[in-house]
């Protein structure tokens, strides 16, 4: 949801710049900030996905010797 909001904001800034509601320097700075935020969100999503995959793998294949016999 956050990445969708970032994309929506990016689109709104592009439109605002196109209709001259923002100075080009302001829009460039804001768009660069949004690009950094989108990159951080992507990294977070990737990290969380990997953690979840590891937990699923661990649950599906418990370590040898960890079973009660």
DSSP state of 7: H
pLDDT given at position 59: 84
The domain spans of the chain are 2-58
Report whether 3 contacts 42 (CB < 8 A): yes
What integer best gives the mean pLDDT of the chain?
89
Residue 68 confidence (pLDDT) above 90: no
Q: How confident is the model at residue 58 (pLDDT cuts 50, 70, 90)?
A: confident
| Cα separation, 19 vs 11, whole angstroms | 13
Give the tokens for residue 60.
Answer: 């599906």
Q: Rounded to two decimals, what is the model's pTM?
A: 0.74
CA distances (Å), origin 58, targets 51, 68, 69:
11, 16, 19
Give the tokens for residue 37.
Answer: 């935020």
């Amino acid at each position: 949801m956050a990445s969708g909001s970032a994309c929506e904001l990016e689109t709104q800034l592009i439109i605002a710049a196109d209709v001259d509601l923002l100075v080009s320097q302001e829009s460039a700075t804001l768009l660069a900030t949004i690009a950094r935020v989108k990159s951080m969100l992507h990294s977070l999503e990737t990290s969380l996905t990997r953690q979840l995959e590891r937990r699923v793998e661990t649950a599906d294949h418990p370590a040898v010797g960890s079973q009660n016999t």
